[in-house]
């Protein structure tokens, strides 16, 4: 069986409809439909029930999902094993949300290399749908993100709770979005809580889906926005940014997701290092002047 057919099937399952699946695969909707039809013909069964709301798996589709995941993972693992660079005996592919590379995974990477010198590491950045799709297909061994989805063969584990605070380039700023406010799309849960806290907010002139992009805009052009405390701490210490007094805070958990069929020792080492970094940063952060400043503001 062509693994591209199995990969397309898994993308449709994850996306919930053919249109979104086609966008993720950078294909036309007709191509996706043709691939699924070909797959159903080869298997001799119907895999999806199609309706206006999207697609749902048939009983046969649910059974094939497990086999499709195994097939894609096996091919990707073989590709990785064959492609291991000379001098290394293991490989690890990690995908992380761009904001989680800053001040977290970039500290993890050199420690991972030091503890596992025989492992070749491929690091990628992306948003949750891309990372989850890579995990489902077996292209990615471990993913770090904010809003994972539960899938067969994958384990989800919370790493830490992200603390989002409103910061501004101005020392005195009202505790609500105003001119120059940048809305960072931190996901549907953030949107819901943000809307509840600011019911009179009519909208923003700038929306970004990457925290780094929004933060650079605020730093270079003045303004305000919600960003992780761990990322803005240096700017609070230097006085380039200020925590907005009395503005609500939002908390968002960060997770690590990995395959249950991967290299247990290598995955275990990777996750252990992540937890070590979380514990170390928690100790450091609690004693910083910026953290004390925030505590005083909340009082």
pLDDT in tens, 46-61: 999 988 778 999 999 9
Q: For position 248, which CATH number holds?
A: 3.40.190.290
Domain boundary among 54, 81, 108: 81
Owning domain of residue 12: 3-81
Q: Tell me, yes or no, whether 236 and 128 share the same domain.
A: yes
| pTM: predicted TM-score of the whole model, two decimal places | 0.66
Is 111 exposed, middle or buried (CB count within 10 Å of its CB: 0-12, 13-18, 19+)? middle
Q: For position 29, which CATH number holds?
A: 1.10.10.10
Averaged pLDDT in 10-residue chunks for the chain of 299 residues: 85 91 90 92 92 87 88 74 69 91 92 93 90 87 91 90 94 88 90 91 84 93 93 93 94 92 88 93 61 41
Q: With contact defined as beta carbons under 8 Å apart, do 169 and 241 qualify?
A: yes
Q: Tell me, yes or no, whether 156 and 53 share the same domain.
A: no
Domain boundary among 31, 52, 81: 81
When divided into structural domains, the chain yields a total of 2
Q: Tell me, yes or no, whether 54 and 144 share the same domain.
A: no
pLDDT in tens, 26-85: 899 999 999 999 999 999 999 999 887 789 999 999 999 988 888 887 777 666 656 666
pLDDT score, position 83: 63
Q: Tell me, yes or no, whether 241 and 140 share the same domain.
A: yes
Q: Tell me, yes or no, whether 51 and 156 share the same domain.
A: no
């Amino acid at each position: 069986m062509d693994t591209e057919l199995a990969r397309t099937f898994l993308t449709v399952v994850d996306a919930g409809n053919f249109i979104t699946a086609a966008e993720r695969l950078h294909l036309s909707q007709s191509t996706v439909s043709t691939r699924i039809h070909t797959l159903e013909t080869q298997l001799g069964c119907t895999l999806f029930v199609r309706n206006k709301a999207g697609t749902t798996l048939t009983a046969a589709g649910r059974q094939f999902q497990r086999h499709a995941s195994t097939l894609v993972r096996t091919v990707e693992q073989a590709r990785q094993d064959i492609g291991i660079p000379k001098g290394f005996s293991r490989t690890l592919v990690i995908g992380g949300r761009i904001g989680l590379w800053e001040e977290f995974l970039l500290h993890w990477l050199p420690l991972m290399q030091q503890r596992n010198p025989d492992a070749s590491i491929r690091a990628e950045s992306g948003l949750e749908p891309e990372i989850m799709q890579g995990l489902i297909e077996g292209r990615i061994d471990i993913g770090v993100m904010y809003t994972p989805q539960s899938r067969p063969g994958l384990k989800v584990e919370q790493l830490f709770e992200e603390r989002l605070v409103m910061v501004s380039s101005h020392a005195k700023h009202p505790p609500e979005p105003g001119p120059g406010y940048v809305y960072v799309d931190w996901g549907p849960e953030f949107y819901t809580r943000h809307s509840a806290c600011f019911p009179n907010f009519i909208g923003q002139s700038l929306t970004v889906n990457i925290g780094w992009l929004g933060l650079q805009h605020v730093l270079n052009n003045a303004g305000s926005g919600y960003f992780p405390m761990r990322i803005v701490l240096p700017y609070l210490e230097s006085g380039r940014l200020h925590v907005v007094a009395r503005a609500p805070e939002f908390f968002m958990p960060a997770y690590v997701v990995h395959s249950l069929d991967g290299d247990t020792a290598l995955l275990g080492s990777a996750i252990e290092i992540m937890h070590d970094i979380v514990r170390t940063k928690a100790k450091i952060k609690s004693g910083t002047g910026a953290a004390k400043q925030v505590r005083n503001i909340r009082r």
